[in-house]
A and B are shown apart, each in its own frame.
Chain A
C-alpha cells in the first residue's frame, strides 16, 4: 500500500510539473529561461541515488548561471523511483513537454527502457549518468536507445572484466567469492565479473551469494566465505551495504581482499566503514580519475551536503546540455545534434565524446584503493 500511495503521488507531482511548466514558458528577452530535466529515483527506497545525482545537476546549473548572467536554468525533477512501472507513467508528460531541451538520466537501466519510447517520439536527448545495461547501446537489441540515448558511464561488459582483474591483481591462484545485492545493476555486473575471471590466470570462483539490498546481517554470507576459503571477495552492489558488510567481514577475522564496482565507488564508503575499508579495491569510470578536494568543498558549500554516487557523471552530463544552451542549441533537434557531435572535457580533464550508439568514448575503468579513509586512484586498469 505504501508503494502504491507513493506511486500515485509521483504521478501527480509529474503531472503538476508538466502543466506548471507550460504556463511559465514565456520568458522575457532580457532574461532567458531554459529547462533541462533530471530523471531518477527521488523518493522511495532508492531515493538516495537520485538525490545525489540531481544535486550534481543542480550544482552544475548553479555554476553555469553564475558564469552566464541573463540565462536562467531550471532543473525539472522527474521522479521515476527507479521503477520501470513509474517511469512509464511520468515519461509521456516529459516527452511531450517541448520546453525541456534535454534530460540527465534516467538513472536506472530498467526505468530507461520503459521511458525510451516517449523520448524517441519526442526527439528528447538523454544523457544517463548511471544506466549501465549493455543492451541500451546495442543496435541489435530491442532496448537500443539510439539516437536519443547517451551515457557518460561505462558499460557492465567493460567493468566486469576490469573489476575481476583489479580485484585479483597480485593474488596468485585467487579464490574468488562473488555476491550481488539482487538489484538490476548488480546481478548482470556479477555475471560479467564471473566471465571476466575466466581470463584471469589461476583465478577460480569458489562461491556466490545474492543478498537483498536491505540486508544488514551478513553472517550467513560470511559463513559461506569462510567455508569456501576465499582469498578475494567481490561485491557488485552499492557503497552503503558494502560498508556494513566489510565491517562484519573484518570483525569475523577474515583478511580476504574486498573489491567492489562503481556502485561502491564513493568517498562515503571508507568514511562509513572506517578502518575496515582499508585496502579495499574499487573500480570507477576512468574519466573521473582525479576529482579535486577543492571542488568537493565548494559542492558541499553550495549544496549543503557532500557529493554522492555518480555525482561526477551527473555533473558532466549536465554540463554537456548547458554548454549546448550557451551555444544556442535551444530546440530539441539542435540539442540532439549537439550532443551527438559533442566533444569536450569532463570535470577531470578527459575528453568526452560519444560513439554512434551513445556510449562514451573513454569507457575505461580506473582502479581505486582505500588508503587512510580515502579512495585513491591507482590508474586505468589495462
Chain B
C-alpha cells in the first residue's frame, strides 16, 4: 500500500506542489472576493476556464503553433510563455470584472439580499460555461506543446521537469506580488479597510465600487495565471474543467480560512499534496473521500479554517 509512496515520494511531492500552486492562485479569486463582499463568487470556476483559453489562443492562433510543431526555444519560448500568461490573466481579469458588473454591482446597488446575488452568480457561471461549450462544439481542446518538457535533473529518483519547475517558481512569484500588493499598496489598504468594516471605510472616503471592482480584477488575474499554468502543465482544456478545479480551489480556500490570503496559500498547497498522496496510497477512487474527511476534521477543530479568525478579514 505504501510502496508507491515510498518509491515515488519525490515525484509525487513535486507534482502535488505544482498542482497545489494552481489551486493557490484560483483560491485567491475566491478568497479575495469573499474578503470584501462576504460572498462566494461561484463564477470563479468559469473565470478560470475562460482563462485557460487565453493561453490556447496565444500559442495556437497568435503564434501559430500546432499539435505537431516543434516546441519553442530560447527567446521565442520566453516570449510565447509570457504573452500567454498575460493573455490568460487579461481574459480572466476582464471576465471577472464582467461578472462583477453583471451579477453583483446592480443587485448590490439595489440592496437586494445575498441570495439574489448568489443565484445571479450561479446563473452567470452556467451562462459562461454553456457559451464556451457552444464555441468549442463541446469538444476538448488540446494545447500545442510550446514548452518542451525537459527533465532537468533527477533528485532522489524523481524527475524534475521544466514545466513543473516553471509553474512552481512563477506561481510563487505571482502569489508574492499579490500579497505585497494587498499589504502595501494604497488600493490594497482600501481593500483591507472595506473587508474589515465597510461602513467605516466608506466614511473615510474609500470608493466602494472601485475597491470591489479592483478586488474582482485582481482575483481574476490570479485565477487567469492559474489557467496559464494549467494549460502549460496539462496541455488541455475543456468547457467543463472549471467545476472540478473550482471546487478544489474553493475547498482549499475554506481549508486555509476563507478571506485570508495566506490561508489560500497553505490551503492550496496542503490540498494539492493531500490529493496526490491519497491517490497514490489508497487509489484515486479514494481521493475525494480522503480530502473531504480531512476538510471536515479541520473544520471541526478549527471552524474558520487553518488561518481563519473569528472575524474573517482579508489579511496579508
A residues sitting closer than 8 Å to B (CB atoms) are 1-2, 5-6, 43, 45, 47-48, 51-52, 179, 182, 208-212, 214-217, 219-221, 223-224, 226-227, 240, 243-244, 247-248, 251-253, 268, 271-275, 304-305, 308, 373
| B residues contacting the other copy or chain, number (CB 8 A) | 46
Minimal Cβ-Cβ distance residue in A for B14? A219
B149 touching A243, Cβ below 8 Å: no
Partner of A48 from B125, B138, B142, B275 at Cβ < 8 Å: B138
* Contacts A244-B236, A253-B151, A373-B68; A220 near B284 (Cβ below 8 A): yes
A305 touching B12, Cβ below 8 Å: no
B241 touching A247, Cβ below 8 Å: no
Q: Could you tell me the distance between the alpha carbons of A275 and B241 in the complex, rounded to whole angstroms? A: 24
B279 touching A51, Cβ below 8 Å: no
* Contacts A220-B12, A305-B139; A210 near B67 (Cβ below 8 A): no
Minimal Cβ-Cβ distance residue in B for A252? B159
Q: Pick the interface stretch among B2-10, B98-106, B252-260, B295-303.
A: B2-10
State which residues 129-168 of B face A: CB under 8 Å. Answer: 130, 133, 137-140, 142, 145, 149, 151, 159, 161
**Does B196 sit within 8 A of A, measured CB to CB?**
no
A223 touching B68, Cβ below 8 Å: no
A226 touching B149, Cβ below 8 Å: no
**Does B280 sit within 8 A of A, measured CB to CB?**
yes
With both chains docked as a complex, state the minimum distance between the C-beta of A224 and any C-beta of chain B, in angstroms: 5
Q: Mark B207-245, 1 if CB is under 8 A from A, else 0.
A: 000000000000000000000001001111010110110
Partner of A211 from B4, B68, B133, B284 at Cβ < 8 Å: B284
Q: Mark B271-302, 1 if CB is under 8 A from A, else 0.
A: 00001110110011101100000000000000
15 contacts between A and B (CB under 8 A): A45-B243, A179-B284, A210-B283, A210-B285, A212-B285, A212-B288, A217-B15, A217-B19, A217-B275, A219-B16, A223-B8, A226-B8, A272-B67, A272-B236, A275-B68
B67 touching A216, Cβ below 8 Å: no
A227 touching B122, Cβ below 8 Å: no
State which residues 59-76 of B face A: CB under 8 Å. Answer: 67-68
A243 — which chain B residues lie within 8 A by C-beta?
140, 142, 236
B residues sitting closer than 8 Å to A (CB atoms) are 3-4, 7-8, 11-12, 15-16, 19, 67-68, 122, 125-126, 130, 133, 137-140, 142, 145, 149, 151, 159, 161, 230, 233-236, 238, 240-241, 243-244, 275-277, 279-280, 283-285, 287-288
A217 touching B4, Cβ below 8 Å: no
A247 — which chain B residues lie within 8 A by C-beta?
235
A6 — which chain B residues lie within 8 A by C-beta?
126
A2 — which chain B residues lie within 8 A by C-beta?
122, 125-126, 243
A220 touching B279, Cβ below 8 Å: yes
Partner of B283 from A209, A226, A227, A273 at Cβ < 8 Å: A209
- In this complex, the member of B138, B142, B233, B243 whose beta carbon has the largest number of chain A beta carbons within 10 angstroms is B138
Q: Could you tell me the distance between the alpha carbons of A233 and B29 in the complex, rounded to whole angstroms? A: 38
Q: Could you tell me the distance between the alpha carbons of A94 and B283 in the complex, rounded to whole angstroms? A: 42
Q: Could you tell me the distance between the alpha carbons of A275 and B280 in the complex, rounded to whole angstroms? A: 27
* Contacts A217-B15, A219-B15; A272 near B142 (Cβ below 8 A): yes
User: What secondary structure prevails in chain A residues at the interface with B?
Assistant: helix
Q: Could you tell me the distance between the alpha carbons of A219 and B164 in the complex, rounded to whole angstroms? A: 12
Minimal Cβ-Cβ distance residue in A for B142? A272
* Contacts A216-B236, A216-B241, A244-B234; A308 near B139 (Cβ below 8 A): yes
Q: Could you tell me the distance between the alpha carbons of A182 and B286 in the complex, rounded to whole angstroms? A: 12
Minimal Cβ-Cβ distance residue in A for B279? A220
Q: Could you tell me the distance between the alpha carbons of A118 and B279 in the complex, rounded to whole angstroms? A: 41
B12 touching A223, Cβ below 8 Å: yes
- In this complex, the member of B139, B151, B243 whose beta carbon has the largest number of chain A beta carbons within 10 angstroms is B139
Partner of B240 from A5, A45, A221 at Cβ < 8 Å: A45
With both chains docked as a complex, state the minimum distance between the C-beta of B146 and any C-beta of chain A, in angstroms: 12
Q: Could you tell me the distance between the alpha carbons of A220 and B142 in the complex, rounded to whole angstroms? A: 22
A226 touching B7, Cβ below 8 Å: yes
B122 — which chain A residues lie within 8 A by C-beta?
1-2, 5
A212 — which chain B residues lie within 8 A by C-beta?
244, 284-285, 287-288
Minimal Cβ-Cβ distance residue in B for A250? B149
Q: Could you tell me the distance between the alpha carbons of A224 and B4 in the complex, rounded to whole angstroms? A: 6
- In this complex, the member of B137, B233, B238, B243 whose beta carbon has the largest number of chain A beta carbons within 10 angstroms is B137
A47 — which chain B residues lie within 8 A by C-beta?
133, 138
B67 touching A271, Cβ below 8 Å: yes
Q: Could you tell me the distance between the alpha carbons of A214 and B159 in the complex, rounded to whole angstroms? A: 25
* Contacts A47-B138, A220-B279; A5 near B126 (Cβ below 8 A): yes
A227 — which chain B residues lie within 8 A by C-beta?
3-4, 7-8
B12 — which chain A residues lie within 8 A by C-beta?
219-220, 223
Q: Could you tell me the distance between the alpha carbons of A208 and B283 in the complex, rounded to whole angstroms? A: 8
* Contacts A2-B122, A217-B234, A219-B276; A51 near B285 (Cβ below 8 A): no
Minimal Cβ-Cβ distance residue in B for A48? B138
B233 — which chain A residues lie within 8 A by C-beta?
217
Q: Could you tell me the distance between the alpha carbons of A232 and B244 in the complex, rounded to whole angstroms? A: 29
Q: Could you tell me the distance between the alpha carbons of A304 and B230 in the complex, rounded to whole angstroms? A: 29
Partner of B284 from A1, A5, A221, A268 at Cβ < 8 Å: A221
Q: Could you tell me the distance between the alpha carbons of A162 and B180 in the complex, rounded to whole angstroms? A: 59
Among all A-B residue pairs, the 8 with the closest Cβ atoms:
A220-B279, A219-B15, A223-B8, A48-B138, A240-B140, A272-B142, A210-B285, A214-B244
With both chains docked as a complex, state the minimum distance between the C-beta of A260 and any C-beta of chain B, in angstroms: 15
Partner of B241 from A179, A214, A224 at Cβ < 8 Å: A214
A216 touching B140, Cβ below 8 Å: no
With both chains docked as a complex, state the minimum distance between the C-beta of A104 and any C-beta of chain B, in angstroms: 18
With both chains docked as a complex, state the minimum distance between the C-beta of B290 and any C-beta of chain A, in angstroms: 12
* Contacts A182-B285, A212-B288, A226-B8; A268 near B279 (Cβ below 8 A): no
